[in-house]
Amino acid sequence: MLIPQNFFMREADHVEGFAPEIPWVTEVGDEKLEEPLGLRPTSETTIGEAFSDWINSYRDLPYEINQWANVFRWEKKTLPFLRTSEFLWQEGHTAHATEREAYERTMSALDEYERLCEEFLAIPVYKGKKTPSERFAGAVDTYSVEAMMQDGKAVQAGTSHYMGTNFAKAFDITYLNKENQHVHAYTTSWGASTRLIGALIMSHGDQNGLVLPPTVAPTQIVLMPVGPWKKNPGVMEKLDEIFYNLKEAGYRVRLDDSDNTPGYKFNEWELKGACIRIECGPRDIENGHVIVKSRDVADKQKVAFEEIDTFVADELTAMTPRLLEKARKRVKENEYLHINTLQELKEHIETCKEEDKTPGFVLIGWDGTEETEETIKEETGFTTRNIPFEAPMEKEVDIVSGKPAKHTLWIARAY
């Protein structure tokens, strides 16, 4: 966790980028340390030092490690899950013999984050390249997946960095190649953090609380007796039977037989994001069915006892893609492709404010200068998200300078 100050100093861009946010240990007990130790903001420097020891021959490559670790980046203003001074993340580090292989690993890590977000968390993402000013300190190129929350603001959901030989040179990561020469390795790193939990909450939640895809919901199914169930032991007998069947089948299921009212229970389990609610009362027992409601669907429906297993299996399979589709639709509705000048952007923001809509993601043309990025940020609070791999259209002029655009990129307000 503790990184000697001189490690940071070895990669000039790296130290410059992270210096203001690093907490320094300067004393132990009553004694002053000779060299301050920084709390890791990310581990390229220690991993670089270790790679220098561990990697000696082309036979050692490719080299790949991953760690889950707590890291520190000091924040003046914090926000639960999204912006905390200490956070937990996963960071992968790799070293390769060729530029091409390292670049491909950078991309495949990014693809994994895209899959994690979309297929697992039902959060649609924009995959693309960061502009130089938003690059990881010390990287040749940084790529990201960006997600749009319900308020139109962006969350950077994962990043993948191609380092070239920058860190290999700073930390002496060399190996003997097949031609018996000592050469530098090409490295990558990539990370995603617990801020994904924040993105998950803000992507799907509604007025009643959490909406979670079954892939990650702590409670996938909640069962509860309704009506005068205490006088009819058959209700709890049936619910017990359903409970054990579903548990046996491997689902995360809960049975709420507390004394709270049905209304209280509905609210509580909606708040907690239980995916499927199954109610059963004395009359349902007579009719041979239960009443079922999915968290993300307005209507209730009746499901016959003998069809519960199939229903639950189908519904839990369907829910994650359904949440993803719903989020995709929302995201599309908040994309703005036809804003071409700073004036139009300001008007767009003003209109959205008046109409109580989110200003969303705006696709702009960019001449490649930092001036344009700075001006947009100062005048509107929007920041560049990324240069998408697949833009819905190509923009022709820079939104600020009016000069020919070199890139088309997404801008948005961001967390």
Binding a second copy by CB under 8 A: which of 16, 64, 86, 347? 86
Q: Is 66 a residue that touches a second copy (CB under 8 A)?
A: no
Q: Is 16 a residue that touches a second copy (CB under 8 A)?
A: no
**Partners of 183 in the beta sheet?**
175
Binding a second copy by CB under 8 A: which of 12, 16, 26, 353? 26
Q: Is 35 a residue that touches a second copy (CB under 8 A)?
A: no
- Which of the stretches 31-39, 124-132, 296-304, 393-401 binds a second copy when contact is defined by CB under 8 A? 31-39
Nearer to a second copy, 70 or 208 (CB): 70
Conformation bin of residue 122: beta by default, left when phi > 0, alpha when psi is -120 to 50: left
Rounded CA-CA distance 384/362 in Å is 10
* Residue 123: count of CB within 10 angstroms of its CB: 28
Question: Which string of x and - marks every residue 157-176 that binds a second copy (by CB under 8 A)?
Answer: --------------------
Q: Say if residues 346 and 336 touch (Cβ distance below 8 Å).
A: no
Nearer to a second copy, 69 or 414 (CB): 69
Tokens of 224: 């509860």
Binding a second copy by CB under 8 A: which of 54, 74, 264, 389? 74
* Closest separation in Å from C-beta 257 to a second copy: 18
* Closest separation in Å from C-beta 217 to a second copy: 22
- Which of the stretches 25-33, 44-52, 222-230, 374-382 binds a second copy when contact is defined by CB under 8 A? 25-33
Tokens of 81: 């899950």
Tokens of 294: 């999915």
Q: Is 54 a residue that touches a second copy (CB under 8 A)?
A: no
Q: Is 13 a residue that touches a second copy (CB under 8 A)?
A: no
Q: Is 67 a residue that touches a second copy (CB under 8 A)?
A: no
Q: Is 41 a residue that touches a second copy (CB under 8 A)?
A: no
Q: Say if residues 231 and 238 touch (Cβ distance below 8 Å).
A: no
* Residue 246: count of CB within 10 angstroms of its CB: 23
Binding a second copy by CB under 8 A: which of 3, 8, 15, 22? 22
Binding a second copy by CB under 8 A: which of 12, 16, 27, 100? 27
Q: Is 17 a residue that touches a second copy (CB under 8 A)?
A: no
DSSP 290-329: EEEEETT-S-EEEEEGGGHHHHHHHHHHHHHHHHHHHHHH
Q: Tell which residue, 225, 228, 209, has the closest CA to residue 217.
A: 209
Question: How do strand 407-412 and strand 361-366 relate by DSSP bridges?
Answer: antiparallel
Dihedral sign of CA atoms 9, 14, 17, 23 in order: negative
Tokens of 351: 């209109």
* Closest separation in Å from C-beta 30 to a second copy: 8
* Closest separation in Å from C-beta 266 to a second copy: 22
Q: In the range 106-135, which residues lie near a second copy by CB under 8 A? A: none
Q: Is 282 a residue that touches a second copy (CB under 8 A)?
A: no
DSSP 82-146: TB-SEEEEEEEEEEESSHHHHHHHHHHHHHHHHHIIIIIT---EEEEE--GGGS-TT-SEEEEEE
Q: Is 344 a residue that touches a second copy (CB under 8 A)?
A: no
Nearer to a second copy, 86 or 371 (CB): 86
Rounded CA-CA distance 343/349 in Å is 10
Binding a second copy by CB under 8 A: which of 9, 12, 16, 19? 19
Nearer to a second copy, 29 or 233 (CB): 29
Q: Tell which residue, 214, 213, 218, has the closest CA to residue 200.
A: 213
- Which of the stretches 24-32, 114-122, 168-176, 309-317 binds a second copy when contact is defined by CB under 8 A? 24-32
Q: Say if residues 225 and 239 touch (Cβ distance below 8 Å).
A: yes
* Closest separation in Å from C-beta 259 to a second copy: 14
Rounded CA-CA distance 289/242 in Å is 12
Binding a second copy by CB under 8 A: which of 3, 15, 36, 92? 36
Nearer to a second copy, 21 or 112 (CB): 21
Residues that bind a second copy (CB under 8 A): 1-2, 19-30, 36-37, 39, 70, 72, 74, 86
